[in-house]
Amino acid sequence: MSTFVLIWIFCMCVRGVIFTDLCTLSAMAEERRQKQCSVSLPTESMKAMAESVGVGQLQEESCAALSEEVSYRIKEIAQDALKFMHHGKRRKLTTNDIDNALRLKNVEPLYGFQSQEFIPFRFASGGGRELHFYEEKEVDLSDIINTPLPRVPLDVSLKAHWLSIDGVQPSIPENPPPAPKEQQKVESTEPLKIVKPGQEDDGTIQGKTQGATAADGKGKEKGLIRLKPRSTHELSVEQQLYYKEITEACVGSCEAKRAEALQSIATDPGLYQMLPRFSTFISEGVRVNVVQNNLALLIYLMRMVKALMDNPTLYLEKYLHELIPAVVTCIVSKQLCLRPDVDNHWALRDFAARLMAQSCKTFSTTTNNIQSRITKTFTKSWLDEKTQWTTRYGCIAGLSELGPDVIKTLILPRLTIEGARIKGVVEGQVVSNIDKIGADHVQSLLLKHCASVIAKIRPQPDLAEQYRTDYGYLGPMLCSHVMKARTQAALQAQQVNRTTLTITQPRPTLTVSQSGFSGSGGPRTPSIIKVPSSLTLMTPRPGTPSQPSPPATKYIVMATSAGAASTQQVL
Amino acid sequence: MAAVQGGPVDAVEEKDIKTEPSNDGCGSNSTNDGRAASASPGSGAPAAGAKPAAAAPEDQQTLLAVLQFLKKNKLTESVDILRREAGLPEDSLDLKGADSSAAGSGGDLGAADASSLLSRVTASSSAVVQAPTKAAGEDQPDVNVVLSAYSQQGDPKLYPVYYNGLKRFIESVLDCHRAELSQVFYPLFVHMYLELVYNNYESEAKAFFEKFRGDQECYYEDDLRILSSLSKREHMRGNETLLDFRTSKFVLRISRDSYQLLKRHLQERQNNQIWNIIQEHLYIDIFDGMPRSKSQIDAMSGSLAGEAKREANKAKVYYGLLKEPEIELPLDDEDEEAENEEGKPKKKKPKKDSVGSKSKKQDPNAPQQTRIPLPELKDSDKLDKIMYMKEATKRIRLGPENLPSICFYSFLNAYQGLTAVDFTDDSSLIAGGFADSTVRVWSVTPKKLRKVKSAADLNLIDKESDDVLERIMDEKTASELKILYGHSGPVYGISFSPDRNYLLSSSEDGTVRLWSLQTFTCLVGYKGHNYPVWDTHFSPHGYYFVSGGHDRVARLWATDHYQPLRIFSGHLADVTCTRFHPNSNYVATGSSDRTIRLWDVLNGSCVRIFTGHKGPIHALAFSPNGKFLASGATDSRVLLWDIGHGLMIGELKGHTDSIYSLRFSRDGEILASGSMDNTVRLWNATKAFDDLETDDFTAATGHVHLQDNSQELLLGTYMSKSTPVINLHFTRRNLLLAAGSYNP
């Protein structure tokens, strides 16, 4: 083979390799930090590329020589490309950087790779070869012409905000949350921090520079005393105002405002400082409203809990001791509303049970044992003979939300006993209407949750008689439910196979009609919820800084007329 | 290399600079004496004495080679100019007699130098002397010659043995010497590897590399990566990093005792291979006194070519500030006006006096007012100065107890395309350079940006009226944002002129462009770099500006010359950032070779080389009093330097990613740094500079001992929301402005 051809192949290879291995290239640049690169391209690539430009047989030696040369050149180009990345002040290597590096070497850049984020390489193997290739589909021109134009990307714009005012970073949406979630987690799970003696006072109280204090704590690890850091939750005037507005909107009468407020709780990054107040608000609110049987308010408070849990910047572990009792109360309380026969307090129990399950999943650790403690509590009151149907319902709901394993071990064995109890109510004579409704609900709840579990663990032939012997009174009904569940599962499986779509059942959201609402807090006129707006700067001179204000007085939201609230608490 | 006056010679000149980075800017004639003196008491070995002295004649050699080349190409005019510049006599072109006559005419070349020079010329086998003759013929003259130095024959099998032997020896010496001698490992490793590669022992080279790469200091990782990719002799050609290893000697600072130990060991063992490498490729700067500790060595090492030679930082630098121009008269007028407006005449008078009295005292460290010609102040400049002084009286005193407020300007929807930002001194305008080749200028005050009217419309204006400056503006074009089109590649550097009339931008397309902020059009495209221009910066007095790029040189330009006035060459890799000293007499450049150099604008010589960074330098800032320099690099550290003494005086650790911006507050109490880790950090600069213990010993030896007090100096950390901080700026009242693009 003449040298000319070799050189020509080489050129094609360099271009081709860049073409095909662009994706590995950027990875290479990263990887090389750890792994030392004596990486070079396989000779098969050279062969494949030679074939693609019409050179049939390439000798093994030429391949080896080519692959080394090409690898070296590619590394060179990658190094230059990194230079462009650094000067472009980016962390990501883009195809433009490669283009620029090629231009630097007087090589014509590769046209057509303009994708900024993702390079759509496909992988294929076959015939003992593995290939990465760039799939170029044939495009029908008329399609392109007929499709509407994409929206013009937004133009560059400039926006100013205060990063710091006299050394203190204001908590506005433009700034990151003052305490990132990881830090909150560390604080709550490892509360003891090594602090040098005499350091702790100025270390935490000094509100001047949050960053500096955090750094202080880290820097001063020479001291050997472990102290629990004292965290202060000072609220600025804006934050106090915000807290007031939010809490009023959450329990107020206007549903639209409530939705806005909940949305704000679920998304706002600066709520960390207010978290203790929110949690006290919820726990006090539940305590009072359970006594007053105010279903609507309880629902609102549970929705607040949900919103807090949804907020990605908050870590609630520290405040579970207040939140969990409140939630559990809403699950198992004997009476949650004024007219238990009419009002749908069952939905609240379901909702709260789901919240409970969610917090178990998120926060349960081997040290706090939340899940096992909760399970114990539920089972204990469920086993009690004298337990009311409402509480019984709550216990079962709470347990069954914890997952199929819990259902299998705790609920299924008791189905016979529970069935007998339900039978006693349904077929018995002198029972109150309330008991009857309760038993009905318990029955449908058990059927709903147990059927899917049984469908999974029980072998196929579903015989009503068999079920009756196994599960007693509920047996036949269970049997039909299980059969229904099986057909549904089969249907779903088919669909899954065909479309790879996961079908999620939308969870019912809780809303209460305002008719049954009799607010105890008196008429409220909540004004518009407004997040403290960012201080936008027009003139480049320091504005009046907002002084950190003393902690706000606690808002007592509900009139605490009833004193016997504590007896209702479960935990 | 001195200024070039013009003509078609330029291209040739630049090529030479690019291919021969061996002659540092510091190799001007005046330093010869010091160099020879320091080397001669060094050692018994004759070669060690001769080597350093040879560096200066190389300058002459290069010049002669260039002259010859020019003559061959019939560029007589250029020959004359160059000869005049270099002070060479007419007959110096006769190569045979050239060296002796050049040595004689070179004025300060001593007799000893001349004789050594002659001996070098006669030894025709010497590679360096061959260079000029080849230079005329070949396109890339140096490469072959340079590489041929590696063509030593030695048994490749023995290389690891040699290296191991040395390693064992160094591990066995006393603790105090070990750290110093360990410095030898890295350059030795590199050169041994290159020798193996050059002699085509590919597998041995690989084995050698794998075996010993783990021993090298972690901050050489980047270079090792480049080295590891190089495994064939063919690769060595055209690899710039590699050429640097060869052309510039790796500089080590070793105490006399340690050096003697090493020498004795190598001579005892007859270890010629290693001894040769040390002689050929290493420059050992021997000093008397205590050997340095590991931390002291680590603080200073890390650059591509070792530490700076001590002599390199000996030149006197006039770091003081220039006297403020007398603008008493207009100030009075202004005061009267101010009186009328505000009715507070008494308050202003004493302040003005204090400013005046301060400027009357001549700083002994300041350069002469006319050291370099500076542009005359225009009336508008004087007005601006008055505005500045007024604002200065309202300035907030900053300190640890009184931290600045920070206003963050986020560029939204920039799609990672924002590459450079600059603020005007009065903080009224922001300019951004973008990867899509555009430059955008925003007004951040209510005053909108307006263009000047067209020529036809301008004719209609009454030129005698008082508000003529207002009348020439076209109201119809008023807008907050103006976009400047003209570059054909990403814009990497941007700089406003102090009078806010011009804007400079440097780009990947190899040009620097000057834009008018009156007409919002491009006025000049300064060509010369030919490769991407990474940074540009206007002189604080206007008129001059400096640019630096991938071609490894920084250039000094004047706005009214389309060719550079000075070319600062000496960096071994890309010049990544450039900055003017507050007195406009010096220029600091940071580079990918991990050094910072300070250049004298007057004669183009390099007066300071600062080593110690472990990554490419991307940010530089002079303290307002001109005494100190701060630098930030991709190694996420900020280093502080004393310019007068040429010493490192502080290290600020805390950032977790590359630092792209640095700025001192107006009074110099606070240093702000912005980084890719999305934070702005504030450092107590006063404390950092006050804590400084510059006893005579430290100043004399340059051995710094840094205390690790970053945490005490850190005053605040302000996190932004996934917005890397690209630029920082203190307003005249000490409000800190930061800018970056939001990358969700």
Q: Which residues contact A25 (CB under 8 A, 6 or more apart)?
A: A18, A74, A78, A93, A98
> What is the reported pLDDT for A500?
40
Touching check for B576 and chain A: CB below 8 Å?
yes
In DSSP notation, B575-641 reads: EEEEEE-TTSSEEEEEETTSEEEEEETTT--EEEEEE--SS-EEEEEE-TTSSEEEEEETTSEEEEE
Kind plus residue range of the DSSP H or E element containing B545: strand B544-549
Between A133 and B652, the higher pLDDT residue = B652
DSSP designation for A70: H
State the virtual CA torsion across A344, A346, A350, A355 in degrees, nearest 10.
70
Q: Show the tokens assigned to A489.
A: 């599962």
Comparing CA positions, the residue from A113, A106, A127 lying closest to residue A23 is: A113
Secondary structure E strands in A68-188: 121-126, 129-134, 157-164
Q: Show the tokens assigned to A432.
A: 């109150």
Residue B434 to residue A100, Cβ atoms within 8 A: no
Touching check for B414 and chain A: CB below 8 Å?
yes
Comparing CA positions, the residue from B690, B673, B679, B652 lying closest to residue B730 is: B673
Comparing CA positions, the residue from B612, B605, B611 lying closest to residue B566 is: B605
Residue of B nearest to A162 (CA): B407
Q: Which residue of A71, A94, A211 is in closest CB contact with B716?
A: A211
Residue A75 to residue B229, Cβ atoms within 8 A: yes
Task: Determine the distance in angstroms separating the CA of A106 from the nearest CA of chain B, rounded to an integer.
Answer: 11
Q: Check residue B131 and give left, alpha or beta (phi > 0: left; psi -120 to 50: alpha).
A: alpha
Residue A158 to residue B411, Cβ atoms within 8 A: yes
Which of A131-135, B229-233, B581-585, B613-617 comes out lowest in average pLDDT? Answer: A131-135
Q: Are A210 and A178 in contact (CB under 8 A)?
A: yes
Task: Determine the distance in angstroms separating the CA of B19 from the nearest CA of chain A, rounded to an integer.
Answer: 16
Check whether B715 has a pLDDT greater than 80.
yes
Confidence of residue B513 (pLDDT cuts 50, 70, 90): very high
Which of A408-412, B96-100, B234-238, B358-362 comes out lowest in average pLDDT? Answer: B96-100
Comparing CA positions, the residue from A334, A326, A349 lying closest to residue A397 is: A349
Q: What share of chain A is helix, strand, coil (3-state, %, to 5)?
A: 55, 5, 40
Kind plus residue range of the DSSP H or E element containing B526: strand B522-527
Task: Determine the distance in angstroms separating the CA of B326 from the nearest CA of chain A, rounded to an integer.
Answer: 28
Check whether B408 has a pLDDT greater than 70.
yes
pLDDT by residue, tens only, chain A of 571 residues: 444 444 444 544 455 444 444 444 444 444 444 444 457 778 877 888 888 888 878 888 888 888 888 888 888 888 889 999 999 998 888 888 888 999 888 888 877 666 555 666 777 777 666 777 777 777 888 888 888 888 888 888 899 999 998 888 887 778 887 666 666 666 666 555 544 444 433 333 333 334 444 444 444 444 445 555 555 667 778 888 889 999 999 888 888 999 999 998 888 877 877 888 899 999 999 999 888 888 888 999 999 999 998 888 888 888 888 899 999 988 988 888 887 777 888 889 999 999 999 888 888 877 778 888 888 888 888 888 778 888 888 999 998 888 888 888 888 888 888 888 888 887 776 667 778 888 888 888 888 888 888 888 877 777 778 888 888 888 888 888 888 888 888 887 776 554 443 334 444 445 444 433 333 333 333 333 333 333 333 333 333 333 333 333 333 333 333 333 333 333 3
Q: Which of A31, A106, A164 to mutate to test the interface with B (most CBs of B within 10 A)?
A: A164
Check whether B454 has a pLDDT greater than 90.
no
What is the identity of the amino acid at B360? K
Q: Which residues contact B401 (CB under 8 A, 6 or more apart)?
A: none
Touching check for B276 and chain A: CB below 8 Å?
no
Comparing CA positions, the residue from A105, A129, A126 lying closest to residue A46 is: A129
Comparing CA positions, the residue from A61, A78, A87 lying closest to residue A25 is: A78
Q: Which residue of B427, B442, B717 is in closest CB contact with A215?
A: B717
Looking at residues B127-148, what average pLDDT do you find? 44
Residue of A nearest to B236 (CA): A72
> What is the reported pLDDT for A538?
38
Interaxial angle between packed helices A43-52 and A60-87, expressed in degrees from 0 to 180 and rounded to the nearest 10: 90
How deeply is B447 buried, as exposed, middle or buried, from its count of CB atoms within 10 A (0-12, 13-18, 19+)?
exposed
ipTM over 0.85: no
Distance between the two ends of chain A, CA-based, in angstroms?
Answer: 86
Check whether B389 has a pLDDT greater than 60.
yes
Which of A261-265, B300-304, B388-392, B651-655 comes out lowest in average pLDDT? Answer: B300-304
Between B435 and A189, the higher pLDDT residue = B435
Q: Which residues does chain B have within 8 Å of residue A540's beta carbon, measured at their own beta carbons? A: 407, 427, 444-445, 731, 735, 737
What is the identity of the amino acid at B240? E
Q: What Å distances lie between residue A228 and A189, A209, A224, A225, CA to CA? A: 12, 20, 13, 10
State the virtual CA torsion across B160, B161, B164, B165 in degrees, nearest 10.
-150
DSSP designation for B305: T
> What is the reported pLDDT for A384?
81
* Cα(B729)–Cα(B739) distance, integer angstroms: 9
Q: Which residue of B444, B676, B717 is in closest CB contact with A211?
A: B717
> What is the reported pLDDT for A364?
82
Q: What share of chain B is helix, strand, coil (3-state, %, to 5)?
A: 40, 25, 35
Task: Determine the distance in angstroms separating the CA of A8 from the nearest CA of chain B, rounded to an integer.
Answer: 18
How deeply is B12 buried, as exposed, middle or buried, from its count of CB atoms within 10 A (0-12, 13-18, 19+)?
middle
Which of B7-21, B211-225, B709-723 comes out lowest in average pLDDT? Answer: B7-21
Q: Which residues contact A395 (CB under 8 A, 6 or more apart)?
A: A331, A332, A378, A379, A381, A382, A387
* Cα(B73)–Cα(B89) distance, integer angstroms: 20
Neighbours of A482 (CB within 10 A): 21
Q: Show the tokens assigned to B37.
A: 């003196």
pTM of the complete model:
0.67
Q: Which residue of A100, A176, A540 is in closest CB contact with B444?
A: A540
Residue B403 to residue A89, Cβ atoms within 8 A: no
Which of A299-313, B113-127, B540-554 comes out lowest in average pLDDT? Answer: B113-127
Touching check for B219 and chain A: CB below 8 Å?
no
Touching check for B432 and chain A: CB below 8 Å?
yes
Looking at residues B724-739, what average pLDDT do you find? 93
Which B-chain residues 533-552 have CB contacts (< 8 A) with chain A? Answer: 534, 550
Q: Which residues does chain B have within 8 Å of residue A539's beta carbon, measured at their own beta carbons? A: 445
State the virtual CA torsion across B413, B419, B422, B427 in degrees, nearest 10.
20
* Cα(A51)–Cα(A129) distance, integer angstroms: 13
> What is the reported pLDDT for B384?
85
* Residue-wise burial string across B91-118, b where 16 or more C-beta atoms lie within 10 A, e elsewhere: ebbeeeebbebbbeebeebeeebbebbe
Which B-chain residues 488-507 have CB contacts (< 8 A) with chain A? Answer: 489-490, 492
* Cα(B379)–Cα(B32) distance, integer angstroms: 47
Residue of B nearest to A209 (CA): B716
DSSP designation for B25: T
* Residue-wise burial string across B246-277, b where 16 or more C-beta atoms lie within 10 A, e elsewhere: bbbbbbbbbbebbbebbbebbeeeebebbbbb
Between A412 and B700, the higher pLDDT residue = A412
Q: Which of A87, A152, A209 to mutate to test the interface with B (most CBs of B within 10 A)?
A: A87
